Chains A and B, each alone.
Chain A
């Protein structure tokens, strides 16, 4: 009798899934229950305590790694200090979905942002309040031609000349197409994960505007011939050429070759 009830309940759950909006549920983050009208900094503090403090410390002092993970599924918290990183870094890491990170040893990758706009603003304000740090940059229009020169010099080594991204040993240089102008400017100043950090002495704010202009322009660049082939240059183009040449060679063999007459 009980078994039948369980089966009925399971069938009902399958037939009538819980009503959801367009977005899947926000799993994996802690949303504190706060009264409407909670001050932004207060909300940010609560969100920080729930989602960030295990790796970045309760006061943003950072957590040094202690010991190795005890096995699969075990996560040892560790993370850099956040004092003085400012609104710039918080805005970048949260709006790209780089943070929160499932395991501290992995490279942060672009994921779905789980926080609402107000929660993001609250967290950014709270992290900025931890210490004196740079504000969120506001890129202005720049020169695409100058940006190409600078991008080739500073960025293309890893991100590839049309910003399609690439690989290093131990890291992935992500493609830059999904990044907003602000996020590109932020990443240059932060150097997320294994990326070098470029200060205003190496790349001035004016030069950064041009780099941003170039990255945004190259994303909309047309593909001559109609087929981008990843826009990665000679390697994929060579593979395509080999495929075409291979088919042509096989065709030649069919035309000129002959079978031995069957006895």
Chain B
């Protein structure tokens, strides 16, 4: 049984306003590439919810009138009734406390909603997809290892796996890193249009998982191929598993499309070179990814 506390509505309004400000701050931090963005986003969203909760607590404890009237209504006075009617009419033309609170709640909820919708912008590009399709790989570009040394075909051993980069190109782009393995040429079963993509059974695939864009850091190979599972790339994030023998097809996990394959040739000095660009767009899938083809930058 509580009666509303005077001035509590100001406090509730203040909390609602702060919640709206924090939510707006989240949107701003999301739009700008500010340092420590992740931490700022967390703090802003956390504070927005905390202020909203505080406003709810104030509303519940101080503003909601739960007292029950037990005395009988007094006899009606004609003059008093007229005065009350006048006050109510005047109040209706301005902004009442109740309406102010409702508006405050609406603003807070609206900006929080905007803040929650803002990350949807990261889902991908709808119109200009060119940057997602460009790769630094083109015919004749040599493969180099992490130290920048050209990768020779003779250096690629069975049962091991190697990470390679395009020679003389930015390594930080999504399409740069590839994984290279050597399989028994008899076990390679590529689609017919990829004939000649795997000289001596050496295959190269994008190192970026087509599901969420993690680097594929796991390679499993059987010690005894007769009784153990076949070679496969495994993404450490969600265990998408790709078969290098059949063109990077998904054999397990959430990835929706095969790992893009890089056609290889061996140049006269025995160094591995790209024979073109990837079989498909590199990186996590986005809407319409299957319509497009990867292209050399």
Q: Which residues of A contact B (CB under 8 A)?
A: 62, 64-65, 78-80, 104-105, 153, 156-158, 166-171, 190-199, 201-202, 252, 256, 258, 261
Contacts and interface: CB of A to CB of B under 8 A. Distances in A.
B160 interface: yes
25 contacts: A64-B226, A79-B224, A79-B227, A105-B228, A153-B146, A158-B217, A158-B218, A158-B236, A168-B239, A169-B220, A169-B253, A170-B232, A171-B229, A191-B160, A191-B221, A193-B222, A193-B228, A194-B220, A194-B222, A196-B221, A197-B158, A197-B159, A199-B160, A256-B61, A261-B1
B30 interface: no
A171 B220 contact: yes
B220 A170 contact: yes
Given A169-B239, A191-B221, A194-B222, A199 B228 contact: no
B234 interface: yes
B206 to A, nearest CB: 16
A78 B226 contact: yes
A191 B227 contact: no
By secondary structure, the A interface counts as loop
A252 B229 CA distance: 52
The size bracket of the interface on B is 20 to 34
B60 interface: yes
Contacts of A261: 1
A151 to B, nearest CB: 12
Contact of A194 (B61, B146, B221): B221
Contact of A193 (B160, B218, B223, B253): B223
Interface in B144-190: 146, 155, 157-162
A103 to B, nearest CB: 10
Contacts of A156: 217
A196 B161 contact: yes
B252 A169 contact: yes
Nearest to A191: B159
Nearest to B159: A197
Which 5 residue pairs are nearest across A and B when measured between Cβ atoms? A157-B217, A194-B220, A80-B224, A197-B159, A169-B241
Contact of B159 (A65, A158, A196): A196
B221 A197 contact: yes
B286 interface: no
Given A153-B146, A168-B234, A194 B229 contact: yes
Contact of B236 (A80, A157, A198): A157
B220 A168 contact: yes
A4 to B, nearest CB: 52
Contacts of B53: 252
B43 interface: no
A153 B217 CA distance: 9
